[in-house]
Structure 1
Amino acid sequence: MATRTTGTSRADLITDAALALLAERGMRGLTHRAVDERAGLPQGSTSNYARTRQSLLEATVRRLAEREVRVLAPGELPVPGAGQAPGPRTGRGRDTQNGPHTGPEALIAGLALALHRYLTRHPELLVCRYELALEATRRPELREFFDATGRQFREPLTALMTAAGSAEPERHALSLVAWCEGLMFSCAAGSYHQSVPTEEELRTGFAELLRGMLGSDGALR
């Protein structure tokens, strides 16, 4: 049974209970009554908050996105060159004067840290993500909502690729997302669930991927 913590709203309590049920029992286990029981709330509380199954699913997707933002901590992913005066540029427009805390190395380190934290500390959120994504393929109204929440992750990543000097930031962002998604599925539900890469291995993987996208010159050499 879920317990209320100081500062936790009833909405968060309900949607956190819904996520816990998704991770443990799958989509069939997500019912209004089960959420009430899991959250330790009076019967009917979840129905008062989200009367239909669609509204409960939308609230759960929204809460998942909020928790993913905290796990991935976009603030840890620096924009290359941010906070510096413009310097000489080479290749596809990359700044050759980026310092160690603002250049591609920092971007690689930030991506690896965020992904490793997700894989090792919050695997249950990945299971919820896949449960909801599959349900969205059967519910067009949920698909639209699910895709809208996903844009809050894609758009900043596209901006990061632009700042890193990508000539095709949207395509490169898609490739980066696809690589991360494949790795996350393999580690959460696939054949690598018992051998999650180390943070160092993830840094190597991100460096190889970005080198192929951005070129091997400059800071990615």
Structure 2
Amino acid sequence: MRLIASRGLRGLTHRAVDQAAGLPPGSTSYHARTRARLIEVTLRRMADEEGVLEESVLMTADHDLGTLADLVAEFTHTAIHRDRDRMLARYELALEATRRPELRPLYDRVGARFRALARTVARALGSPDPERHARDLIAWADGVIFDSVAGAASACPPSLAELRRSARDLLSAQAARSPRPT
């Protein structure tokens, strides 16, 4: 993913992967014969790694608004600061999946995990419309992440404290639209 982040998908070649991994020439082509297979393997690895991240978020026992906002902020902060290369690769792969229909189902499975996570957060808030609130949460997170790693804010991405305030504002607005328990 670092290779895609630094060189784009055009830079993802068997030779480049071998060099970046310190492998003898031809090693990568043994496991992924074609460039299409190399991209597919990358997408699968991304899906597996992101699944581990999401499961850790879902394992929290405490689902009050403050805790959920903190988890969303920490997830977003990690994506921006620690996983910047993964996010850049994800955007490259998203664009490639729009051009190559055979990649779309695999890329969409990666996205489905994020949607499930966002629905879990919305349900934990008591959302009457978890699907819509999940879309709002994804739009916020994707927008902040994209702006912070590839957009105008990449020179000065938000701090964890800023993300906590922003996530709390969004989730508070969603919770305010939810029915109150009687």
Pair in the same fold by TM > 0.5? yes
Residue 141 of structure 2 aligns with which residue? 180
Is the partner of 1:127 in helix, strand or coil?
helix
Structure 1 distance, partners of 2:87, 2:63, is: 29
Residue 140 of structure 1 aligns with which residue? 101
Higher radius of gyration, 1 or 2? 1
Structure 1 distance, partners of 2:56, 2:176, is: 25
Letter in 1 for 2:143: G
Matching residue within 21, 29, 54 for 2:36: 54
Conserved? CA contact 1:77–1:111, under 8 Å: no
Structure 2 distance, partners of 1:104, 1:39, is: 43
Conserved? CA contact 1:158–1:170, under 8 Å: yes
Residue 56 of structure 2 aligns with which residue? 75
Residue 217 to residue 69, structure 1, CA distance change in 2 (3 Å): closer
Conserved? CA contact 2:73–2:164, under 8 Å: yes
Residue 45 of structure 1 aligns with which residue? 27
1:161 offset after TM fit, Å?
Answer: 1.1
Matched, 1:199 2:160: yes
Residue 98 of structure 1 aligns with which residue? none
Matching residue within 72, 76, 81 for 1:115: 76
Conserved? CA contact 2:148–2:156, under 8 Å: yes
Conserved? CA contact 1:77–1:107, under 8 Å: no
Matching residue within 92, 101, 115 for 1:131: 92
1:51 offset after TM fit, Å?
Answer: 1.3
Structure 2 distance, partners of 1:77, 1:135, is: 29
Structure 2 distance, partners of 1:134, 1:188, is: 16
Aligned pairs for 1:86-101 (under 5 A) are 101=62
Question: Where in structure 2 are there 5+ consecutive unaligned residues?
Answer: none
Question: Where in structure 1 are there 5+ consecutive unaligned residues?
Answer: 1-18, 83-100
Conserved? CA contact 1:78–1:102, under 8 Å: no
What is the TM-score when the length of structure 1 is the normalising length? 0.74
Residue 196 to residue 77, structure 1, CA distance change in 2 (3 Å): farther
Structure 2 distance, partners of 1:206, 1:78, is: 19
What is the TM-score when the length of structure 2 is the normalising length? 0.89
Conserved? CA contact 1:37–1:43, under 8 Å: yes
**Number of corresponding residues:** 180
Letter in 2 for 1:176: L
Letter in 1 for 2:37: S
Residue 77 to residue 110, structure 1, CA distance change in 2 (3 Å): farther
Identity %: 44
Structure 2 distance, partners of 1:148, 1:102, is: 25
Deviations 1:68-88 (A, max 9, x none): 345x45424566xx5xxxxxx
Structure 1 distance, partners of 2:32, 2:179, is: 52
Structure 2 distance, partners of 1:216, 1:157, is: 16
